[in-house]
Chains A and B, each alone.
Chain A
Amino acid sequence: DTEVTQTPKHLVMGMTNKKSLKCEQHMGHRAMYWYKQKAKKPPELMFVYSYEKLSINESVPSRFSPECPNSSLLNLHLHALQPEDSALYLCASSQDSSGMGDTQYFGPGTRLTVL
């Protein structure tokens, strides 16, 4: 089973709202990722958690705040977003980010629209 789940599927929020995206996997993976994907572009890495610790932050603005409550869950807290933050937000997981051949599996994504 290579399933990563994400909620919600769609989210519309105003620039003053606070919302959260959720991601869950039950594959025993120890690395989890957040990506942002704009139309007709490849996914852009935002954050990597390895063994529940933040290991990579790709200079993401502080209005995006990741959280990894446990090895199965990953959240992305959103606050004071801008319309240009509208995109597909993808969660992925892999066995372990430190190994060669580590394969990332993507969830279905959350389509975010910021008004």
Chain B
Amino acid sequence: QKEVEQNSGPLSVPEGAIASLNCTYSDRVSQSFFWYRQYSGKSPELIMSIYSNGDKEDGRFTAQLNKASQYVSLLIRDSQPSDSATYLCAVNGPGGTSYGKLTFGQGTILTVHP
């Protein structure tokens, strides 16, 4: 069983729409959750981090965490063509004790078309 799962996509949305990216994780004791954006040929860039159940908003981005369902999502409002990238979900450690060991999902490719 994969530890962090994401739909690989590609997810295609029109400009101005809401893009919804989803991620599930298998280790119930995971504590920290991150979304990174990676443009083709570039390195991952931190978009959001979330540690508590509920929503966390930063500009056009909202991260949502539901630990009971082991589910974390990223919503991008008013999507722009510049948001087209691969979005990586990352979870801190398997077992909750291996801090420093991020487990990444396979990434979701997002395309925002004009």
Residues of A within 8 A of B (CB): 2, 31, 33, 41-43, 45, 48, 50, 55-56, 88, 90, 94, 97-109, 111
Question: Which of chain A's residues has its CB closest to B89's CB?
Answer: A42
B45 interface neighbour in A88, A94, A106, Cβ under 8 Å: A106
Known: A41-B106, A42-B106, A100-B92. A105 touches B46 (CB 8 A): yes
Answer yes or no: B100 CB below 8 A from chain A CBs: yes
Residues of B within 8 A of A (CB): 31-32, 34, 36, 41-46, 49, 51, 88, 92, 98-102, 104-107
Is A98 a contact partner of B44 (Cβ separation < 8 A)?
Answer: no
**How far is it, in angstroms, between the C-alpha of A43 and the C-alpha of B43 when the chains are bound?**
9
A90 interface neighbour in B43, B49, B100, Cβ under 8 Å: B43
Question: Which of chain A's residues has its CB closest to B104's CB?
Answer: A42
| Secondary structure dominating the interface of B | loop
**How far is it, in angstroms, between the C-alpha of A108 and the C-alpha of B45 when the chains are bound?**
9
Question: Which of chain B's residues has its CB closest to A102's CB?
Answer: B99
Question: Which of chain B's residues has its CB closest to A98's CB?
Answer: B99
Is B102 a contact partner of A104 (Cβ separation < 8 A)?
Answer: yes
A48 interface neighbour in B88, B100, B104, Cβ under 8 Å: B100
Is B44 a contact partner of A100 (Cβ separation < 8 A)?
Answer: no
Known: A102-B32, A103-B49. A56 touches B105 (CB 8 A): no
Is A45 a contact partner of B102 (Cβ separation < 8 A)?
Answer: yes
Question: Which of chain B's residues has its CB closest to A42's CB?
Answer: B104
